[in-house]
Structure 1
């Protein structure tokens, strides 16, 4: 047993987990340590881009990262599987049975040992227990859900186009209702009009954005609460100029087939209903392995990102709950927080394995940026680094928004390949079709 490799298991291949796996693999390779990444999907797509996948503006087949090839390149191993439990006494993660699309078992429930464990399983959309939401609304938590939305959207657009061509209807429309006025809901609403405007060039000659009816419903008194009020108001005005019906201070009490119902009794009809109102940890985390969790299924972690009841288990990203010392607010579930946590977690895992002191995590608010597709971009930069916020709009904001994805590429691919992919992305903007329609 003296020559047994130290085994680091990472559950979740999102932005944070994949970055840690790459950096650990690059540092240790397959020498003294064995780095294992587990994810229920074979590929990675950056979650902030899922609204573009959903509308066809982004072809995920070209932008996704295959874990097997990425792991071979960077020195970690990848396992396809879904976490179902943790045996802390045996130091083993329990993976659910793996089944094919017909439900047949491919791999039985099995276990993988760990010396150090990182949980980075992300979040899911919070339905707040509202009746009918799970049954009648679509979500954008992963690639599969984004693809499902795109297929249904295109089918409805085709139906309306054919009815217009054949003269069966002259006023038919595609109605989309989006619940949640945060970044995902706002960006999806704008991207829908960008996609609809392009459909006329891809076989639906009589269909354009004028046939699209989008309603954005927000329970709070304004959309984009993470942004300063002036910028949120600018985004609100831009959406309405596009044709989006924006409803604030509007609470949804239930979802039905083809409609959502508000507390005021209004029934908002929709061919597609998207729920993008808040996030929570996956149900599997509720009390997993006896670890401390919040009512929203987030794992409570210490300042060093270790879980409160087991220092050998770390958690980062949306599934982690950390309220920094001296602060009355928890670290928000944002991509920038996951990236910053990944950096600290990587350093702390290395320090723990080498017997050195761990460093505390410090969240630095870099601000927020929201893209309204090709129409506009708004945001605030620097956050509390300069003692306040610097509002940005227009081209500068759009440039900064695009740079976020480029930084993600550098984080998971390294500087050489990351720079090459950024360059390739510019080329693909010219040679790729504008929309993915299959």
Structure 2
């Protein structure tokens, strides 16, 4: 019996899941074995995690179960974390799985590969700041977003009870967000949207006036990916909501109850979120596979998206360091980058097996959009149709922002189911509760 060509994809994020769907749909299970490996059972689009964290989005309605998805699209799913890559034997090592009581469910095991695609995404980069890892919540995956939401609701409930006991109480829920990029800004705005809705769900005496949010950015301004005018407009909107925005303010340490600043000031906080930069997600067993990496731990790839020293190993998305010839900067870690890389990796995996020339990756920057919840949306679009960069705000920006998620649904589900899910989402927005409180 002829051995099947085995293509293993590690990471079921935006790029990895789309690639698995494309390869499964093309090859099926007859002569190929397409395997997706992920340490989670379900996929949630990472740009939506700030909404999950505030309860504005019920992830149970939007998540994608890998096992049902793989059955539909002709690939296999393995639950586990990548521990190591054995390039000599063309195998990956999957770390052992443990039950909640510490008992081993599945022992450490190996999966062979003919071709390997690394799509593990990124995690928050604390830059070695003392206390950040211990005292901050990072929004890298759904369990962290769920943890933040539960702690947020508990603090809101505490303040509400204090106000009932003493109407003159000055109790607040203080939240410090480190990082003025898209994640930090969107979370800050979404918090006020959620706080405004709590009064309708049992916390009658709690409102957004009892919320104290401080956004801390080390650089000269928030949202450096956007034109300065739009960044200033976003800052003005945040400050109008009640957010305290601090720029040119490096953080030196995080404690259990505060964020300490380089200036010597102290920002008290019940909850602390770290959203200041990303780095490649590490392997469970360390990075000793011999693959070339960038300073942020990303896998260095050639324009074909093959790793610099192994033709059979590709890297896409946030875990790939792709500096294309002629470009001033490497490809940024964005969802649109992962989507475009998945398409190029798909074509090149086919070409590599057919003995045809591989295509170089071409990154098309379609712009950056930042949602300030229901209050506003700002961003810029880029492309030949607008002659370069076009600043957009308001309803048009909100429509484009929403369309990005709809395009993601179509990319991972196909047109038929993707459009059906978009329609269901519109219905859920009307009939479902405004906030998820459990």
For normalisation by structure 1, the TM-score amounts to 0.98
Match of 1:164 in 2: 163
Per-residue deviation at 1:383? 5.0
Specify the SS of the correspondent of 1:86: strand
- The range that moved more, 101-110 or 362-371, is 101-110
Aligned mates of 1:277, 1:288 — CA distance in 2: 27
Are 1:246 and 2:240 matched, yes or no? no
Partner of 1:107: 106
Aligned to 1:57: 56
* 8 Å CA contact 1:163, 1:169 repeated in 2: no
- Residue pair 1:200, 1:206 contacting (<8 A) in 2 also: yes
Aligned match of 1:86 = 85
Contact 1:364 1:385 in 2 (8 A): no
How far does the alpha carbon of each residue in 1:286-314 deviate from its partner, in whole angstroms, 9 at most, with x for none? 64411000121100000000001100000
Residue equivalent to 1:326: 326
CA distance in 1, matches of 2:384, 2:146: 37
Q: Tell me how far apart the structure 1 counterparts of residues 355 and 383 of structure 2 sit (CA, whole Å).
A: 35
Offset of residue 283 of structure 1: 2.7
* Partners of 1:383 and 1:98 in 2: CA distance: 46
Report the Cα distance in structure 1 between the residues aligned to 2:385 and 2:282, rounded to whole angstroms.
Answer: 35
| Cα deviation code 1:74-107 (max 9, x no counterpart) | 0000000000100001000001001112222101
d(CA) in 2 for partners of 1:103, 1:184:
34
Structure 1 unaligned residues grouped into runs of 5+: none
2:148 alignment partner in structure 1: 149
Does the 8 A contact of 1:366 with 1:385 survive in 2?
Answer: no
Instruction: Give the Å deviation of 1:176.
Output: 0.4
Q: Deviations over 1:186-209 (max 9, x none)?
A: 000000000000000000000010
Determine if contact 1:287/1:293 at 8 Å carries over to the other structure: no
1:171-210 map, 5 Å: 171-210=170-209
Distance 1:370 1:391 in 2: 12
Which aligned runs of 4 or more in structure 1 are off by greater than 6 angstroms?
none
Q: Secondary structure at the match of 1:257?
A: coil
Distance 2:68 2:117 in 1: 21
Cα distance in structure 1, aligned partners of 2:384 and 2:372: 25
Instruction: Give the whole-Å Cα distance in 1 for the aligned partners of 2:62 and 2:88.
Output: 40
Match of 1:426 in 2: 426
1:16 and 2:15 aligned: yes
Partner of 2:228 in structure 1?
229
CA distance in 1, matches of 2:391, 2:186: 18
Question: How far is the alpha carbon of 1:356 from its aligned partner?
Answer: 1.5
Name the CA distance, whole Å, in 2 between partners of 1:85 and 1:381: 40
Please show how residues 19-418 of structure 1 align to structure 2 within 5 Å.
Answer: 19-167=18-166, 170-284=169-283, 287-382=287-382, 386-418=386-418
| 1:353 positional shift | 1.6
Secondary structure of 2:101's match?
coil
TM-score for both structures, normalised by structure 2? 0.98
Do the aligned residues in 1 keep the contact of 2:219 with 2:247 (CA within 8 Å)?
yes
Alpha-carbon distance, 1:386 to partner: 4.9
| C-alpha distance in 1 between matches for 2:264 and 2:383 | 39
Question: C-alpha separation between the residues in 1 aligned to 2:258 and 2:385?
Answer: 44
Quote the Cα distance in structure 1 between the aligned partners of 2:106 and 2:209: 49
Q: Which runs of 5+ in 2 are unaligned?
A: none
Q: How far apart in 2 are the matches of 1:197 and 1:109? A: 48
Instruction: Give the alignment's Cα RMSD to 1 decimal.
Output: 1.1
| 1:215-267 CA distance string (max 9 Å, x none) | 00000000000000000000000000000000000000000111010000001
